[in-house]
Amino acid sequence: MKKRSLLLTRGSLAVLLVIALSVTAFIGWKLSNDQVVKAPAEIEDYLFWEAKELTDFKLTAADNRTLGPNELKGKWSFIFFGYTHCPDVCPLTLMVLGQAFKILEKNPAVFPEVQGIFVSVDPKRDTPESLKEYVSYFNGRFIGVTGSTAELDDFSRQMSAMYTIHPKEAGQSDDTYLVTHNSTVFLVDPQGRLHGRFPPPQTPKEIAEVFMKIRMFYNERSNKRWGVF
Amino acid sequence: MGGFLKILFSLALGFVASVASADSVNIQILDPWVQAAPPNVKVLAAYLEIKNNGEKPQLLVNVSSPAFDQVGIHRSVMHGNMAHMEHLKELTIPPHASVTLKPGGLHFMLMDAKKPLRVGDSVPMTLTFKNGDKVAVAATVRAGQMEGMGDHQHMDHSEHMNHNH
């Protein structure tokens, strides 16, 4: 404590103030001069070069509900592809995403804006009803969906999240085949556009913190478009 | 009393034998656990650390559990962002080394649970090694451990394993 009080003399405070002011002035000058708003470096890698509109897909959730482009609008959707007969990577990722939601839950302004969507690419073994039970175990804000092979192919193609269902291995029962799937957590923005992605391996803190920055940048940019800046 | 002495004697013999062969006593199982999952899930994963304190490599060739129809030795592998699973016929534990099964890498795939498992349940498993040794393990069901995940370390394991093969 003694050291600190020695450091904080009037002179050093003045120097700090000058530095802070010039940094602020520089940032302001940069912002007003930059024609194109560049994403901050720490979120650049998580963003798609251009947000991509998702069109005309249809997936099925429990209780006869469907998930289409309209259900994505007005929310930030975290989308993950997998299957429930996946004992390692899928529960791990859903747990990480569930914990990220726990962090976001502490921010009451943000949490109502987020939803988690688990897309099962294994409709032969996963039904919308079984998926509802499955995802609610990880977080109450998760929705489980699946669809016909054609519907899943269409949606995963739009999301660039390819998957492969492998033939069962010799000597195995019909129900023990494996599925290769993309284990990226995709981020769709409130306009229903594929906006960003969290490649594996993710951590709860990383997802929560990067999302907050992406959201802030998105909101700032929307404001700028309306002439607030 | 005779029977008791006989058992004691054979136990002692067995102990001496295993010390002599330096095999079974040299396998140590640490922290066996099963990833807790929603009750309707049929396929679960078990994790543990297998330590080989002996001079010779040990080959794990079979895993079984009365709580599941089948158990496989699996490894999750990432090709870019694509996750897929590999079935391993055996797992080598090099001498004076240990192999750790943990989320995102090596795991025992527990197939077709005979009944739903809850946090705190104990899952008995038997690990059979190529030399015939069997090791009994009781794995506890718990919600996955997240430590070490803050620094992306949980994916390092598969790379480490490649050196051992």
Q: Are residues A16 and A97 in the same domain?
A: no
- Which one-letter amino acid corresponds to residue A210? V
> What is residue B4's predicted lDDT score, i.e. its pLDDT?
56
Q: How far is A138 from chain B (nearest CA, A)?
A: 8
Nearest-5° angle of CA B156, CA A119, CA A92?
30
B113-131 per-position pLDDT tens digit? 999 999 999 999 999 999 9
| Res. B24: pLDDT tops 80 | no
Q: Which residue of B has its CA nearest to A168?
A: B87
B52-92 per-position pLDDT tens digit? 999 999 999 999 999 999 999 999 998 889 998 989 999 99
Nearest neighbour of B104 by CB, restricted to A89, A134, A184? A89
Q: What is the pLDDT along chain A (229 residues), one digit of tens a residue?
A: 455 555 567 878 888 888 888 888 777 766 665 556 678 888 999 999 899 999 999 999 999 999 999 999 999 999 999 999 999 999 999 999 999 999 999 999 999 999 999 999 999 999 999 999 999 999 999 999 999 999 999 999 999 998 999 988 777 777 778 899 999 999 999 999 999 999 999 999 999 999 999 999 999 888 765 544 4
Nearest to B45, CA basis, from B87, B84, B74, B82: B74
A90-148 per-position pLDDT tens digit? 999 999 999 999 999 999 999 999 999 999 999 999 999 999 999 999 999 999 999 99
Q: Are residues A13 and A126 in the same domain?
A: no
Nearest neighbour of B154 by CB, restricted to A84, A181, A201? A201
Q: Which residue of A has its CA nearest to B36?
A: A91
Q: Are residues A17 and A103 in the same domain?
A: no
Does B157 touch chain A if contact means CB atoms closer than 8 Å? no
Between the CA atoms of A152, A157, A159 and A161, what dihedral angle is there, to the nearest 10 degrees? 80
Across the range B133-148, mean pLDDT stands at 82
Q: What is the interface pTM, i.e. ipTM, of the complex? A: 0.73
pLDDT above 90 covers a percentage of chain A that reads 69
Q: Are residues A208 and A176 in the same domain?
A: yes
Q: Are residues A25 and A70 in the same domain?
A: no
Q: Are residues A150 and A208 in the same domain?
A: yes
> What is residue B15's predicted lDDT score, i.e. its pLDDT?
45
Contact A88 B154 (CB under 8 A): no
B96-112 per-position pLDDT tens digit? 999 999 999 999 999 99
Contact A87 B155 (CB under 8 A): no
Q: Are residues A84 and A21 in the same domain?
A: no
Beta partners for residue B88, in sequence order = B73
Domains (ranges, CATH) in chain B? 26-164 (2.60.40.1890)
The distance in angstroms from the start CA to the end CA of chain A is 42
Contact B81 A205 (CB under 8 A): no
Contact A134 B43 (CB under 8 A): no
Q: Which residues of A touch B35 (CB under 8 A)?
A: 87-88, 91-92
For residue B155, name the pLDDT band (cuts at 50, 70, 90). very low
> What is residue A30's predicted lDDT score, i.e. its pLDDT?
64
Measured distance CA(A91)–CA(A6) in Å, rounded: 53
| Res. B157: pLDDT tops 50 | no
Q: How far is B100 from chain A (nearest CA, A)?
A: 14
Contact A88 B76 (CB under 8 A): yes
Nearest to B38, CA basis, from A200, A137, A47, A41: A137
pLDDT above 70 covers a percentage of chain B that reads 72
- Are B41 and B113 in contact, with CB atoms under 8 Å apart? yes
**Residue B118 token pair:** 């809850």
Q: Give the DSSP per-residue string, B53-72.
A: -SSS-EEEEEEE-TTEEEEE
Q: Are residues A8 and A51 in the same domain?
A: no
Where in the sequence is the domain holding A93, given as residue range(s)? Answer: 41-225
SS3 B112: strand
Residue A140's CATH number: 3.40.30.10
pTM, 2 dp: 0.78
Q: Give the DSSP per-residue string, A44-67.
A: HTTEEEEEEE--S--EEESTT-EE
Does B139 touch chain A if contact means CB atoms closer than 8 Å? no
Q: Are residues A18 and A47 in the same domain?
A: no
Q: Are residues A119 and A13 in the same domain?
A: no
- Are B105 and A87 in contact, with CB atoms under 8 Å apart? no
Measured distance CA(A92)–CA(A202) in Å, rounded: 10
Structural domains of chain A, count = 2
| Res. B153: pLDDT tops 60 | no
Distances (CA, A) of B162 to A98, A136, B45, B109, B158: 31, 36, 21, 20, 6
Q: How far is B14 from chain A (nearest CA, A)?
A: 37
Q: Are residues A117 and A27 in the same domain?
A: no
Q: How far is A111 from chain B (nearest CA, A)?
A: 22
Q: What are phi and psi of A86, to 5 degrees?
A: -105, 105
Q: Which residue has the tokens 């998957």?
A: A163
SS3 B87: strand
Q: Are residues A11 and A83 in the same domain?
A: no
> What is residue B17's predicted lDDT score, i.e. its pLDDT?
40
Nearest neighbour of B85 by CB, restricted to A91, A95, A178? A178
Cβ contacts of B80 within 8 Å, gap of 6 or more: none
Q: What is the mean pLDDT of chain B?
A: 80
For residue B26, name the pLDDT band (cuts at 50, 70, 90). confident
